[in-house]
A and B are shown apart, each in its own frame.
Chain A
Amino acid sequence: MTPEMILTMIVLAFVIILFVFEWVRVDVVGILMTVLLPLIGLVTARDAFVGFSSNAVISIIAVIIIGAGLDKTGVMNRVAGPIIRLAGASESRVIVLIAGTVGVISSMMQNIGAAALFLPATQRISKRMGIPISRVLMPMGFCAIIGGTLTLVGASPTILLNDLMVLGGEKLKPFGLFTQTPIGLCLLATALVYFIIFGRFVLPAAGGDTDKGITAALMEEYQTVENTVELRVPQGFHGPASLEGLDVQRKYLVTVVAIQKAAKKEKRFVPRSNDTLEAGDDFVLVGKEKNIAAFAAEFGFEVKKGLETFGESLSRTNAGMAETIVSPRSELIGKTMSELDFKELYGVNPVALVRGRKVFYAGLTHIPLQMGDTLLLQGPWERFHILDHRPKPRALTFTTPLEGEILRTRKAGLAVMWLAVALIQVIFIKTPLSVALMSGALGMIITGVLSVDEAYRSVDWMTVFLLAGLIPLGIAFEKTGTAAFIARGVLGLIGSPPPIVLLAVIGVMTSFFTLVISNVGATVLLVPLCMNMALMAGGDPRMAALVVGLSASNTFVLPTHQVNALVMRPGGYRTVDYMRAGGLMTVLFLTVELTVLYFFYGIS
């Protein structure tokens, strides 16, 4: 054993201690390595920072920017809409379609983003269908985690593999973007089948907490606007009748917030008092349930069970309510909303006005506004964001946070095109992954899908420094011969098992290490070691690296995993639920992974 090996082992032990006890955050451990390793002479100064220019780091930055571009243009919302509509028929369909889609999306996007995208809609569907939310959210979360195994860039450990696959100073043949896809697809299918068949036995039937959001909180606060109800004008209706003519706001204290004309199939989200209702029209009211029922009964309108025509456009992610205050020196002071043509100017519906202890639900547009008046407004989030971004001093000051964001929906086609350009380069031209993905990201920036500042702001620097900082540790582990030394020692103890048995041991070991330390840490430590072990046992070192990379996603039992933490309370889960459902999933994950490797990747 050389002095370098002893020093490397001391550093490794130190890193493991830091990972386990978390005295400093994992990314700080990475930064520490970039300083410590060259200082003690285990790597050169150049090698210490080589991680920052590695394929892994560039690829992950590019993937994050591409994901942000898709997000910014609402591409994912467009995907989510039809899936959610298709899903709402049975429990199995909800699980397959929603969890399956989340899995596929997270193969190219951050897994937490994919899960968060479907979370509110899933809660809505399960409530409407009477399915316990706990039966759907954990499958969705697990599929988001498994989705990371579908492509090389889906999860941090697999992104690292190509940079870590060095043996005896020589780089091994890199993995392609889709080398692992068959394994990932089988894992995803296994998870779906597992939850469809065994879901009711391993998942609790908990109700969970419904993520209400700002709008629901405001509706609870303003009790007269407790409900949003969709109605249809029946065929026999003697119309057309204007909203003013129906006197809907004054008589029933309810506000019409959206209309779809039957003739044009055109939706209006800021209806005016002279807008008319005719047979076949659909419209949405905000108000007290009994007032809406009385209004519907008087005119014979059909009350729908939930939002149907407007289900997506008025969903929590697209529209909601915000509370605003008339600012000092506001141009609104002293004028009525009617005089100002408020709805046209602001593009939102005034629902209530609070002045002192009085709350007005009708005739709001005819009251001269005063400084400090509180206006409850309803409308698309995008409009609220535009109002909030107006130069100061603003006429209205928002007192509640805004959900959603301004989407560049017109750029959606471009975003998809640049993703396709990146993928085509990878698949057909065999361009290196980092170059192909960065070209897609650059294309998005140049064509205005997102600005360069937005791209910079979307990057997750914690992950960047973690990956970049730990790569030199992997290099030192291999270069000093420490990995080969430990591998020889381990094989001396256990003999030379057949390759598939060795891979099974590697899979179990990685799954365990990932639970105890970070997944990137486990990968950096185990890839050099396991490749050496595989080589010495006569196996394929690349496959050993692949098993480490994939098994580092085998983290279902951890309630603190970022995706599990996100769905834990909405799903009403307890730690023991993750132990039970995740424990079985962990075993299945390893079994399926090794089975596919055995039959389709030439392992014997």
Chain B
Amino acid sequence: MAIITISRGCFSHGKEIAEKTAEKLGYECVSREILLEASRFFNVPEMKLSKSIHDAPSLLDRITRGKERYLSCIEAAIMEHMRKDNVVYHGHAGHLLLRDFPQVLKVRIIADMKDRVAMLRKDKGMSEHQARAFIQNDDAQRTNWTRYLYKKEVSDPALYDMVIRIGQVAIDDARDIIVRAAKSQAFVLSADAGKRISDLAIESHLRVMLADVCDADFRSSDGHVVVRCRPQRIKKFDPISPRMADQMDETMREDLSRKVSEIARSIPGVKEVVCDVDSPYFS
């Protein structure tokens, strides 16, 4: 009963190791299919999701925070798998999403550049120069991306429970090391940690689903969701009598509260919703 996240650079055999580990443990192995799931669930083009996790955010993205919405969709899809437990996840920042959970086994797979280049050349038929540039660019994108979103260095060993260098260690040996670790008591998910992961999954869904609706703070505790919607801004253009302003205040708060509660209740695992909406303000 464990959650294993495998972080890897491209062409480092990470995918292969994750799949073999999952197979040996009888766990679900999850990676890029989460993009399709997120795309379907949140009705967002898969291409945009794919670009958002691959490319480092541009200056415009940083100002408009354009990519964050797509990343939130992906996070929600990842968390949906995590809450089910018994899962091996490889790829997008799973170890960072669950960094506060010591029971989640976080593995980093690295490989020598020479081996990675050789693998890419064999796979895509590139020249050595092209292959090296491709890998360096990919690594740089991931490094920038992690730095921007999580303020962490992807190469920091403190983020992981183990770092395995493929080359000297064979792929099957790496798998066995991970399987053995996963079976140890330290990586058995406690009931409380399971609940918290489930709550995180709910919160990540809320982050995506409320993004278009309102600006809100929310928290889930064992499926009991509390949402506090920040005041909505109304741009005043013409006179509004105080009575009408009160009526508008009440109507808008009621509408928003109903909408938010409806959205929150549609998220799997939500047991109860308490929604508090602040009065709108005129500007």
Residues of A within 8 A of B (CB): 22, 25-26, 60, 63-64, 67-68, 110-113, 116, 145, 148, 155-156, 209, 211-212, 401, 457-460, 462-463, 518-519, 553, 555, 558, 560-563, 565-566, 569-570, 574-575
Complex contacts, A553 vs chain B, CB 8 Å: 237
A155 touches B255 (CB 8 A): no
B212 touches A519 (CB 8 A): no
Given A25-B283, A574-B212: A555 and B237 interface contact (C-beta under 8 Å): yes
Please, how many angstroms separate the alpha-carbon atoms of A575 and B213 in the complex? 9
Q: Which residues of A contact B235 (CB under 8 A)?
A: 518, 558, 560-562, 565
Contact call B241/A458, Cβ cutoff below 8 A: yes
In the bound complex, do residue B283 and residue A462 qualify as a contact, i.e. CB atoms below 8 Å apart?
no
Q: How far is the CB of A170 from chain B (nearest CB, A)?
A: 30
Out of B233, B240, B247, B258, which one reaches A560, CB within 8 Å? B233
Q: Are A566 and B252 in contact (CB under 8 A)?
A: yes
Extra 7 A-B pairs, beta carbons < 8 Å, given A555-B237, A562-B248: A63-B239, A64-B239, A110-B240, A110-B241, A112-B240, A457-B242, A562-B240
The answer to whether B241 and A64 have CB atoms under 8 Å apart is yes
Nearest CB in chain A: distance from B22 CB, A: 39
Let me know if B123 is at the binding interface, CB within 8 A: no
Which residues of A have CB within 8 Å of B241?
A: 64, 67-68, 110, 113, 458-460
Of the residues B238, B254, B259, contact of A111 by C-beta under 8 Å = B238
In the assembled complex, the CB of B265 is this many whole angstroms from the nearest CB of chain A, namely 14
Compute how far the CA of A574 lies from the CA of B239 in the bound complex, rounded to whole angstroms: 25
Closest-CB distance, B230 to chain A (whole angstroms): 14
Check B283 against A110 for contact (C-beta < 8 Å).
no
In the assembly, what is the distance between CA of A209 and CA of B196, in Å?
32
29 A-B pairs in the complex with CB atoms less than 8 angstroms apart: A63-B239, A64-B241, A111-B237, A111-B238, A112-B238, A113-B241, A148-B238, A155-B237, A156-B238, A156-B239, A209-B258, A209-B259, A211-B254, A211-B255, A457-B243, A460-B242, A460-B245, A462-B236, A462-B282, A518-B237, A519-B237, A553-B237, A558-B235, A560-B233, A562-B236, A562-B238, A562-B282, A563-B237, A565-B248
Within the complex, the shortest CB–CB distance from A213 to chain B, in Å, comes to: 8
A212 to B258, CA, bound (A): 10
**In the assembled complex, which residues on chain A have CB atoms less than 8 Å from the CB atom of B240?**
110, 112-113, 460, 462-463, 562
Given A211-B251, A562-B238, A569-B259 in contact, is the A458-B232 Cβ separation under 8 Å? no
Number of interchain pairs (Cβ within 8 Å): 100
Contact of B236 among A26, A60, A116 (CB under 8 A): A26
Q: Report if B47 contacts A (CB, 8 A).
A: no
The answer to whether A209 and B255 have CB atoms under 8 Å apart is yes
Residues on the A chain within 8 Å of B242, using CB: 457-458, 460
A67 to B239, CA, bound (A): 11
Q: State in angstroms the CA–CA spacing of A553 and B250 once bound together.
A: 26
Query: B280 near A: Cβ within 8 Å?
Result: yes
Whole-angstrom distance between the alpha carbons of A555 and B235 in the complex? Answer: 10
Task: Contact check, A112 vs B282: say whether CB atoms are below 8 A apart.
Answer: no
Task: List the A side residues contacting B244 at CB < 8 Å.
Answer: 110, 112-113, 116
Interface size bracket, B side:
20 to 34
Q: How far is the CB of A152 from chain B (nearest CB, A)?
A: 13
CB neighbours of B191 from chain A (8 A): none
Q: In the docked arrangement, what's the CA distance between A283 and B251, Å?
A: 31
* Among A560, A562, A566, residue most surrounded by chain B Cβ atoms (within 10 Å): A562
Asked whether B234 is an interface residue with its Cβ less than 8 Å from the other chain, the reply is yes
Cα separation A209 to B260 with both chains bound (whole Å): 11
- Residue numbers of B with Cβ under 8 A of A are 212, 232-245, 247-248, 250-252, 254-256, 258-259, 280, 282-283
Bound-state CA distance A457–B246 (Å) is 12
In the assembled complex, the Cα of A64 lies from the Cα of B241 at a distance in Å of: 7
B233 surroundings in chain A (CB, below 8 A): 560
Known: A67-B241, A116-B248, A458-B241. A518 touches B236 (CB 8 A): yes
Closest A residue to B233 by beta carbon equals: A560
Interface centre among B238, B243, B280 (most CB of A within 10 A): B238
- Residues of A close to B238: CB separation below 8 A: 110-112, 148, 155-156, 463, 562
**B256 nearest in chain A by CB position:** A569
Once the chains are docked, how many angstroms separate the CA of A148 from the CA of B237? Answer: 10
Minimum Cβ distance to chain B for residue A289 (Å): 23
Q: What 6 A-B pairs are tightest by C-beta distance, nearest first?
A: A569-B255, A460-B239, A560-B235, A463-B239, A458-B241, A565-B234
Cα A574 to Cα B213 with chains together (Å) = 8
Which residues in B have their C-beta under 8 angstroms from that of A462?
236, 240, 282
* A145 closest partner in B (C-beta): B237
- Bound CA span A314–B18, Å: 65
Kindly report which residue of chain A lies nearest to residue B245, judged by CB atoms: A460
Contact of B237 among A25, A68, A116, A561 (CB under 8 A): A561
Question: How many angstroms between the C-alpha atoms of A111 and B245 in the bound complex?
Answer: 12
Query: A22: which B residues are within 8 A, CB to CB?
Result: 283
CB-based contact B259/A562 at 8 Å: no
Bound-complex Cα distance A519 to B237 (A): 6
CB of A169 to closest CB in B, whole Å: 31
Tell me, rounded to whole Å, the shortest Cβ–Cβ distance linking B281 to chain A: 8
CB <8 Å contact, B239 and A565: no
Q: Point out the residues of chain B lying under 8 angstroms from A113, CB to CB.
A: 240-241, 244
Residues of B contacting A145 in the complex (Cβ-Cβ under 8 angstroms): 237
Q: Which residue of A lies closest to B241 (CB)?
A: A458
Question: Bound state CA distance, A455 and B236, in angstroms?
Answer: 21
Chain A: CB-nearest residue to B280: A565
Q: Are A458 and B234 in contact (CB under 8 A)?
A: no
Q: How far is the CB of B84 from chain A (nearest CB, A)?
A: 32
B212 touches A565 (CB 8 A): no
- Distance in Å: Cβ of B252 to nearest Cβ of chain A: 7
In the complex, chain B residues whose CB is within 8 Å of the CB of A563 = 237
For B256, the chain A residues whose CB sits under 8 A away are 569
Chain A residue at minimal CB-CB distance from B212: A574
List residues of chain A with CB within 8 A of the CB of B236.
26, 462-463, 518, 562
- From B237, B243, B251, give the contact of A562 (CB < 8 A): B237
With a cutoff of 8 Å between Cβ atoms, the chain B residues found around residue A460 in the complex are 239-242, 245
* Interchain CB contact under 8 A, A570 and B247: no
CB distance from A157 to the nearest CB of B (A): 9
Chain A minimum-CB-distance residue to B248:
A566
A287 to B235, CA, bound (A): 42
Q: How far is the CA of A459 from the CA of B243 in the complex (A)?
A: 10
Report Cα–Cα, A457/B236, bound state, in Å: 19
Nearest CB of A to B184, in Å: 49
Q: Nearest Cβ in chain B — how far from A556, in angstroms?
A: 11
Task: Find A570's partner among B212, B237, B243, B255 (CB 8 Å cutoff).
Answer: B255
Q: Which residue of A lies closest to B243 (CB)?
A: A458
Distance in Å from the Cβ of A438 to the closest Cβ of chain B? 15
Query: Are A26 and B283 closer than 8 Å at their CB atoms?
Result: yes
Q: What's the nearest-Cβ distance from chain A to residue B64, in Å? A: 14
Residue contact A110 to B247, C-beta cutoff 8 Å: no
B251 cross-chain contacts in A, Cβ below 8 A: 116, 211, 566
Inter-chain contact B237/A156, CB cutoff 8 Å: yes
User: Nearest Cβ in chain B — how far from A126, in angstroms?
Assistant: 16
Complex Cα distance A552/B256, Å?
29
Chain A residues in 8 Å Cβ range of B232: 565
